[in-house]
Structure 1
Amino acid sequence: MSKRRRIQRAADVAVTGKREKVRDVFVPRPFEGLADEPEWIALRELVPAASAPLRLVPELVEEHGDRPVTLATVLPMAAPAMTKADGRVFVGLQRHQQSGDVSRDLAEALLCALRTEPGRTVAVPPLPGPGPRLQDILVDGPLDVSMHEGFEFWLDPGAADDPTVQASLERANAAIYPTVRLAAARAAYWCRVPEKAHVRWVLPDDEDAALDALARLSAAGTLPLAGGTKFAGMFRAHGRLVPVWDLPEDVPAADWEEPVREFAGRYAEALAEKEPLDAAGRRARHGLLGRQLTLR
């Protein structure tokens, strides 16, 4: 089905209210094909408060106007989308209800928001069924990520003057742990949680190739970022590996730029190796698999 046809089909459902019986399908790499796939994963799974502008494809601009669209890590009450009275649209990556295809979920939330009167609550189905995905409705490109220390970017000017809004905002902000986007590697983030800090990096490469590269580094004893750090394990998230390192909590994020840059170089060299893993590498690979946690 063409991109235009998928968008038109979604619009027809919105008008008629008729929807086919929904059959959920799991998509292991929902952000595959997007230029910044690792960053989408990081914002979805790792980052508490960040945003990035999105651009609609010309067909949607023609239909709905050139409305500002913002991708947010999370919205109030983990809503999938919201609209502002001035026409702005926000789409939330981290939400309560989702289908097996995160890209389809986000696209449907965005389309529902575009069809909703500005300033009104956006109704989004929990299982959207077949239809356009992010890859169909966005002009693709690297995400221009803005990190936030709090969720004030949700609010309209002056809204925080309301005591109820202020109290709600303070509760939301209290749940944020300090997070810094590192320049040394794309989709690498430092964060500090109680009693320790971490670096987590969404690797852009095929899982098997990335795992082999990490195994080579483990066998060579070069998997830690630096002295005083520990390789804690790795996540599987949306079809990509996310290695995690434990760090001293009292060392600031900026001090880890160079160790991460150096590790990225070691990783690239290991990734380029074409020979099969030797016995030590195979043992290391098996050990890494035992320290792996899957995130959807």
Structure 2
Amino acid sequence: MAKRTAPTREDGGIGRRQPCPCGSGKRYKACHGAAGGAADVIVTRPFEGLAAETELVALREFVPSGTAPLPLRDGGSLTLATVLPMAAAALRRNDDRAFVGLQVQTKSGDISRDLARAVEWVRTAETGASLPVVGPETGGGELVRLQDLVDPAAELDVEVHEDFSWWMPDDVEPTGDVALSLERANAAIMPTSRLRAEGVTSAYWVDAGEKAHLRWVRPEPEEKLVAALARLSARGELALDEDSRYAGSFRAHGLLVPVWDLDREKHAREWDEPAAALGRRLDEALASLESEPLDAAERRARDGLRGRQVTIR
């Protein structure tokens, strides 16, 4: 008998009480979402339903060194991080601070579920313990998703770091494999800054060497966002200013991330206001779609923008 592979929902996440996408007729929590359930169900939008969704995507995909307090429903305290020493999924430092990593290997198709496993593990871990890889064997009891543990309305207060010195307590010098991992991580880091203009969220300036970029994780449905971008493109209003150009976009965990090439000579803070102005133009374009369908020029622009999209997750 052929193995039945569960399809995925186009809009992303699977609620634990919703029907399982494999077609069994059971709820997800009693089927592929249960302990021991198949690990091949790919959840294309794992952070759906969380106000912090766009920041989680950014931290998972391209912010090199960043941390944020994770707002748990029960008031517990731990820190979400991009990368941990030895690419660990979670660790409890010797000073008893708990961390969960985002840029890690996982063994299932639901990153939200794996993160929840890591959170559950680290909350009871002994001081100094580290979880190398998270998977179905991690933890015990009822398995949950991140949406079950985190306040869904809470934003993430992300701090972007210049290096990975935050891996260690202030009074501890790294040694052995941790010191080597720290050295390699610091050598590979790209200068990154989170834009902080009013109305701008989950937008990051990145110095990639030859060029600088703005990567902006957007929460809107892809078709609507592309249509709004096309409207701005047809009007010649898609760049941030004369020293920038729209480069394309990539899909990550069910969301679209538009990218702009920027003048590398400008400081990251110089892009705050241009990004805010672009955000206002984009909001207006999104609102206008409700009453004004795309015209012929805008549809041609949309087709051109679609040709510059890639999927990385």
Report the TM-score when normalising by structure 1. Answer: 0.86
Deviations along 1:129-170, one digit per CA (max 9) or x if unpaired, are 983111101234011111111111111233326476545422
- Check if 1:45 corresponds to 2:61: yes
Mapped partners of 1:142, 1:128: distance in 2: 30
Query: What residue is the counterpart of 2:258 in the other structure?
Result: 243
Aligned to 1:160, the other structure's residue is in SS state coil
Q: 1:25 aligns with which of 41, 47, 53?
A: 41
For the Cα contact (< 8 Å) 2:65–2:82, is it kept in 1?
Answer: yes
Equivalenced residue count is 277
Residue 110 of structure 1: aligned partner: 119
Query: Does the CA contact (< 8 Å) of 1:80 and 1:95 recur in 2?
Result: yes
Aligned residue number for residue 81 of structure 1? 90
Higher mean Cα deviation, 117-126 or 133-142?
117-126
Write the distance in 1 (CA, Å) between the matches of 2:136 and 2:302: 37
Does the 8 Å contact 1:22/1:128 carry over to 2? no
**One of 121, 133, 137 as aligned partner of 2:145:** 133
CA distance in 2, matches of 1:121, 1:290: 43
SS of corresponding position for 2:304:
helix
Using the alignment, how far apart are the partners of 2:267 and 2:91 within structure 1? 35
Paired with 1:75 and 1:287, the residues of 2 have a C-alpha distance of: 39
Deviating 4+ runs (over 6 angstroms): none
The answer for the alignment partner of 1:5 in structure 2 is none
Judge which range, 162-171 or 134-143, deviates more.
162-171
| Rounded Cα–Cα distance in structure 2 between residues aligned with 1:239 and 1:286 | 20
Alignment of 1:255-294 (within 5 A): 255-273=270-288, 274=290, 275-294=292-311
Q: 1:70 aligns with which of 79, 89, 96?
A: 79
Residue 41 of structure 1 and its aligned partner are, at CA, apart by 1.0
1:203 partner SS: coil
8 Å CA contact retained: 2:105, 2:133: no
Deviates more, 1:158-167 or 1:91-100: 158-167
What amino acid sits opposite 2:245 in the alignment?
K
Residue identity opposite 2:173 in structure 1: A
Query: Does the alignment pair 1:195 with 2:210?
Result: yes
Query: How far apart, CA to CA, are the structure 2 residues paired with 1:99 and 1:118?
Result: 27
**Structure richer in helix, relative to its length:** 1
Q: 1:35 aligns with which of 44, 51, 59?
A: 51
DSSP 3-state at the match of 1:255: helix
Identity of matched residues, %: 51
Retained in 1: the 8 A contact 2:88–2:130?
Answer: no
Give the root-mean-square deviation of aligned CA atoms. 2.5
Unpaired stretches in structure 2, ≥5 consecutive residues: 1-15, 18-29
Give distance in 1, aligned partners of 2:181 and 2:95. Answer: 23
Per the TM alignment, residue 23 of structure 1 is displaced from its structure 2 partner at its CA by: 3.6
For 1:108, give the aligned amino acid.
Answer: R
Counterpart selection for 1:219 from 234, 237, 244: 234
Mapped contact 1:54–1:138 kept (Cα < 8 A): yes
C-alpha distance in structure 2 between counterparts of 1:126 and 1:290, whole Å: 36
- Which whole-Å deviations, capped at 9, do the CAs of 1:217-239 have from their partners, x for residues lacking one? 11111111110211110011111
* Range with bigger deviation, 37-46 or 120-129: 120-129
**What residue ranges of structure 1 are gaps of 5+ in the alignment?**
3-8, 14-18
User: Among residues 153, 157, 171, which one is paired with 1:144 in the alignment?
Assistant: 157
- Cα displacement (A) at 1:110: 1.2
